Amino acid sequence: MAKTRERWGSRSSFVFAAIGAAIGLGNVWRFPYITYQNGGGAFLIPYLIALITAGIPLMILEYAVGQKAQSSPPTALKTIWKKSEWIGWFAVVLVFVLATYYATIMSWCVNYFYQSFTLGWGNTPRAVETFFNQTLLAKSGSPGILGGIQLPVLIGLAVTWLLIYLCLFKGVKTLGKIVYFTVGIPWLILIIMVIRGLTLPGAMEGLNFYLTPDFSVLLQPKVWLAAYGQIFFTLSLAMGTLIVYASYLPRNSDITVNAFITSLANCGTAFLAGFAVFSTLGYLASAMGVTVPEVTTSGLGLAFVTYPTAINLLPVASRLFGALFFLLLITLGIDSAFSQIEPVVGSIADKWGFNKRKVLPLVVLTGFIVGIPYTTKAGFYWVDIIDHFVCTYGLTLIGFLECIVIGYFFKASRIREYINSVSDVRIGPWWDVFIKIVTPIVLGVSLIYELIKLIQKGYGNYPVWTAFSGIGLIILLIVLSFILSRKRGNL
Amino acid sequence: MNGSAIVMLIFASLILYGGLGYYLVRAARGKKRKNSEETTNESFGE
């Protein structure tokens, strides 16, 4: 007998959930830095072109696959082409690995949020750095030396997984209400931080570094690859999240307009975050008497060292803004974190007909246990290494395979007919071109470019065996995906 | 902020926030679809 599928409470619940999945920590700590590093305002040109030619077409594709199949990634892809179920499982197992280290980064945010009430990370730039590297993480110096478990990080990890469980256990309808808060609160905090940042001395100098265009970079292929890479990762594509979220919509729901709203809201948030970050960096540079590039960092360094340093130097309410900044990161991250678990739970439930409520605690518990090695003194290195291999090779490969399967084995024009039959805004044959040619070429070139770079230089300053571990993990996940796709289910 | 940075600010804002506003209006004016319960497992018609 056919089963009744869960439904979002409303269209806006779905859109907010998808926006929440897309908007994550990278919007705050990656986009502004990549923009600055790749020609400032000029980077916005390839970024927007990448959004229109790859990001939005791929998002429309994933929404269409989930909504039409009314199923999670493996079973959805199986209905398109029987032999492609493993690609769906590959996305699912990969996003599970991603969730395990993402939860660890969230754990660091939870610890900093706790410390923000007393500015416990210290008063000087050196103290802040020491707090992150020695007090919180107690870095062992090498990925090969695990050291002991850092209790505060372990507690933060448990809190994060508990939050993920609480957000998901009531099902999609309740999740649809939670996302109004997990998306609305960061927007509100971001606006407060932009206003605060713009009123600080030196802010305009910071914004000049963020937005002053250097058009000569547009001739460099690496800038275009960076733009396509940023768009691809920021929209939560190829993770299975968008497919599973869209599968909870009725088949006659609009696809095109939803995809445009989600992707524009995500990129608009990243653009806005750039103002909060660079106005604060401008202030920090001015307060320390150095130039903006000297204080400009990205990723973990920006969030856990540079920003707390700037918070220390704020003339008033530094504790409040410290708490707000880390609450921003927690709320930005939590909806991305639970969006990484929903495809895992949904896929197991869909294939074997299990109750999602029974699958969820097992997935959450497994995620917590798998994440424990990241709480050791070598955890920082492993978060960095696994993140590189999962995103740069795993997700890019899935995006490439999705385009090939839909574009050639199923025929893009057939799925376009379905999209146009339910959407208020029709898409033309240009979409087929982007799915069949532009996106796979860009992803394929990016994959080859990164592989050559890996062979020539390795990754980071880590020992060679860590690169083998990273590639080995990707191969292992592919094998696991094939095994899962071969298992008999209740489909 | 210098002139060229302001130009890029306006350019990106028009596309991102203008585009978002446009599609939000389209969504508000779009067909109302029933959030009905449906059954699963319809194939893609292969």
Give me the pLDDT at residue B32, please. Answer: 62
User: Distance between CA A243 and CA A77 in Å, rounded?
Assistant: 10
Q: How many CB pairs under 8 A join A and B?
A: 130
User: Distance between CA A10 and CA B36 in Å, rounded?
Assistant: 10
Residues 6+ apart with CB under 8 A from A68: A76, A251, A415, A418, B42, B44
Give me the pLDDT at residue B43, please. Answer: 53
Confidence of residue A302 (pLDDT cuts 50, 70, 90): confident
pTM listed for this prediction: 0.92
User: Distance between CA A133 and CA A153 in Å, rounded?
Assistant: 13
Question: Mean pLDDT for chain A?
Answer: 92
Residues A269-293 have pLDDT tens digits of 999 999 999 999 999 899 888 888 8
Name residue, tokens 């000049």: A208
Phi, psi (5° rounding) for residue A148? -90, 175
Picking from A250, A257, A260, the nearest residue to B36 by CB comes out as: A250
Distance of CA A155 to CAs A64, A151, A363, A394, A456, Å? 40, 6, 18, 29, 39
Give me the pLDDT at residue A327, please. Answer: 94
Residue type at A474?
I
Whether B44 contacts chain A with CB within 8 A: yes
Name residue, tokens 């707390």: A308
Which residues face B39 on adjacent strands? A4
Say yes or no to pLDDT of A80 above 50. Answer: yes
Confidence of residue A411 (pLDDT cuts 50, 70, 90): confident
Residues in B closer than 8 angstroms to A258, CB to CB, are 27
User: Distance between CA B17 and CA B23 in Å, rounded?
Assistant: 10
Say yes or no to pLDDT of A255 above 90. Answer: yes
Query: What are the tokens at A349?
Result: 């439930």
Residues 394-413 of A with CB under 8 A from B: 410
Nearest-Cα residue of chain B relative to residue A45? B12
Residues A94-123 have pLDDT tens digits of 999 999 999 999 999 999 999 999 888 888
Chain B interface mutation, best of A10, A36, A79, highest count of B Cβ atoms under 10 Å: A79
Give me the pLDDT at residue A293, please. Answer: 86
Say yes or no to pLDDT of A1 above 70. Answer: no
So what's the ipTM on this one?
0.89
Chain A interface mutation, best of B2, B14, B20, highest count of A Cβ atoms under 10 Å: B20
Residue type at A195?
I
Tell me the helix, strand and coil percentages in chain B, rounded to 5. Answer: 60, 0, 40
Confidence of residue B34 (pLDDT cuts 50, 70, 90): low
Chain A interface mutation, best of B2, B4, B14, B17, highest count of A Cβ atoms under 10 Å: B4
Closest among A67, A62, A70, A69 to A95, alpha carbons compared: A62
Say yes or no to pLDDT of B39 above 60. Answer: no
Task: With CB atoms and an 8 Å threshold, state whether A254 touches B31.
Answer: yes
Phi, psi (5° rounding) for residue A139? -50, 135
Largest CA distance in chain A: 71
Q: List the beta strands (DSSP E) in A61-181.
A: none
Say yes or no to pLDDT of A137 above 90. Answer: yes
Whether A246 contacts chain B with CB within 8 A: no
* Mean pLDDT, residues A374-394: 94
Find out whether A29 and A299 touch, Cβ atoms under 8 Å: yes
Query: What are the tokens at A76?
Result: 């959805």
Task: With CB atoms and an 8 Å threshold, state whether A41 touches B12.
Answer: yes
Query: What are the tokens at A473?
Result: 């993990």
Task: With CB atoms and an 8 Å threshold, state whether B23 touches A264.
Answer: yes
Give me the pLDDT at residue A20, please. Answer: 95
Say yes or no to pLDDT of A40 above 60. Answer: yes
Residues 149-168 of A with CB under 8 A from B: none
Say yes or no to pLDDT of A34 above 90. Answer: no
Nearest-Cα residue of chain B relative to residue A64? B44
* Mean pLDDT, residues A370-375: 97
Find out whether A183 and A20 touch, Cβ atoms under 8 Å: yes
Query: A236 in helix, strand or coil?
Result: coil
Q: Is the dihedral of CA A157, A163, A166, A171 positive or negative?
A: negative
Q: Which of A240-249, A280-289, A310-319, A455-464 has the highest mean pLDDT?
A: A240-249
* Mean pLDDT, residues A340-352: 94
Q: List the beta strands (DSSP E) in A107-188.
A: none
b/e code A54-73 from CB counts within 10 Å (16+ = b): bbbbbbbbbbbbbbbbbbbb
Percent of chain A whose pLDDT exceeds 90: 74
Picking from A3, A9, A425, the nearest residue to B39 by CB comes out as: A3
